[in-house]
Structures are given as C-alpha cells and as structure tokens.
Chains A and B, each alone.
Chain A
Amino acid sequence: MREVVPVPVPGLDLRQHYGHHQSIAIRAGGLIFCSGMVAINPHTGEREHGTVTSEARRIFENLKLLLESAGSSLDRLVQVHAMIYDRIEYDVLNRLYRQYVPNAPPARTVMSVQIEAGFKVMLDVIAAA
C-alpha cells in the first residue's frame, strides 16, 4: 500500500508555500520515503538560511517532527542522502550530524550539489515505518 504521510505542521508544506510538486513523505512497504528537506520554519514556512550547522539542526528538528508524527523516529532512519553546497563544509556537517544520530547511524551518502533557494544543506531520508 502507498499512502501520503500528512504534513505534521503547516510550515513544512513546501507544496503550499513554494509550489513544489511533491508530498512531504510517502509510506510504502514498511518504509517512509521523505522528500528532500531544507531549513524551513515549521510554523510559518519561512526559509531559515544560516550556517551549515544551523540549517542542518533545523532540518533534523523538522525531520524528527515529521517522522514521529508518522510513528517512526530518527532512530529508525535506514538511509540518508546529505547534500551540502560545498564539500569544504563536510566536517561541519558531520559534527552536527553525529549529535542527532549518535548510535547505530544510518547508511549515508554525502554529496556537494546546488541546492534550491541558496540553502547550504538538504537531507533526504528513508526510514523504517
């Protein structure tokens, strides 16, 4: 079965705020597939540009909200694609990253790409439902 995971708080609805034609997450086959997440204020939908650290923190907090609303959690992540704007900030990302997945971290790929709207970080995850 394939079902759309409801947006847990209004700010995270990128489709409504920015016209992104995507669901925030889809649940299927025991997994939750999340759209790439950027640093958005979960209440207002405002973009919160900042440092790699501040953006990644905001994304993890939003991800926590989303996954927990769907009955999952950060402990149940299976795969993460971490996108950063410049690989020179790799260590900066890692420092924050390990605070959020301290034990048995998920599989991960990091890449340096161009991210929407001038953001520095985007996380795209698959979690066990």
Chain B
Amino acid sequence: MALEREIIASNHPVLPVSLAVRGGDFVFLSGMTAVDPVAGSVAHGTVAAETRHILTEMARLLEAAGSSLARVVKVNVLIYSMLEYDNMNTVYREFFTVDPPARTVCGAKLIGGHKIEIDCIALR
C-alpha cells in the first residue's frame, strides 16, 4: 500500500524546498535557521537567540501540519561550534519539557552565516 505524501508548507521564500512534508504518519521538516518564514529576513543573533527563534517557528509550523513539539520523535541540531553546545541546550530544554525527542547534535559549517540549523521528524 502506498503511503500518502502531502506538502504541508511549500512557502519557502527563496529555496527549492518545502518547509514541511507529510509522509504516512510522519511530518518531515526542512532544516530551519533563524529566518523569518514570511518576510524571508534573516535574524542572526547569538546561539541562544537563534535557537529560540527556530524552535518558536518550528512549533508554529508543526501545528500547521496537525502536529506539535510534543509529538517530535527526532531532532537534528547543527551548530557552528560545539563550544556553544550548552548555549543551545539551555534554550532547547525550555521547548521540550517532558519526554524530549531523540536528538543528534554536531558541529558543522552552516550556510549563510547562521550559527544553528535544526530539522526534525514528528508524528502527525
């Protein structure tokens, strides 16, 4: 039986990506950076500020897809320097209070001068 594939949010201001795609019971989000999803303006800041910006938008996007942060199963965090791990983790824990998702954090060279990029898979 083929699973249903549905584009939840195709409104990326610039890139040839959908922000959220549902496949079967799961919702897959593109890597999110500190960018205003409507205006497309960049909101560079500290690791803490960028993390907060991203997770706030992620919550909104998941809710638009009929899911929520509480239904996230896996998170991938890319960070420009692992020295800033704790600055990300401190803000992160405010958004996932109970039974946090599985997560992988690694240091990588990010596009566009961002300090943090986060993607996730959630149950619908």
A and B assemble together:
yes
- Whether A23 lies near B100 (C-beta < 8 A) is yes
- Whether A25 lies near B123 (C-beta < 8 A) is no
A47-55, A86-94, A96-104, A113-121: which one contacts chain B? A113-121
- Whether B93 lies near A124 (C-beta < 8 A) is no
CA distance A24 to B26 in the complex (A): 19
Q: Looking at the complex, which one of B25, B81, B106, B108 makes contact with A36 (CB distance below 8 Å)?
A: B106
In the complex, residue of chain A having the shortest beta-carbon distance to the beta carbon of B90: A21
Question: Which A residues are CB-close (under 8 A) to B99?
Answer: 4, 23
Q: Looking at the complex, which one of A2, A15, A19 makes contact with B71 (CB distance below 8 Å)?
A: A2
CA distance A75 to B14 in the complex (A): 41
- Whether B121 lies near A36 (C-beta < 8 A) is no
- Whether B104 lies near A122 (C-beta < 8 A) is yes
In the complex, residue of chain B having the shortest beta-carbon distance to the beta carbon of A34: B102
One digit per residue, 1 when the CB lies within 8 angstroms of any chain B CB and 0 when it does not, for chain A 1-26 equals 11010000000000100011111111
Interface residue ranges, A against B (CB under 8 Å): 1-2, 4, 15, 19-26, 28-29, 31, 33-36, 81, 83, 111, 113-116, 122, 124, 126
Q: Nearest 8 A-B pairs (CB), nearest first? A: A114-B107, A36-B104, A22-B103, A33-B74, A113-B106, A35-B102, A21-B93, A29-B25
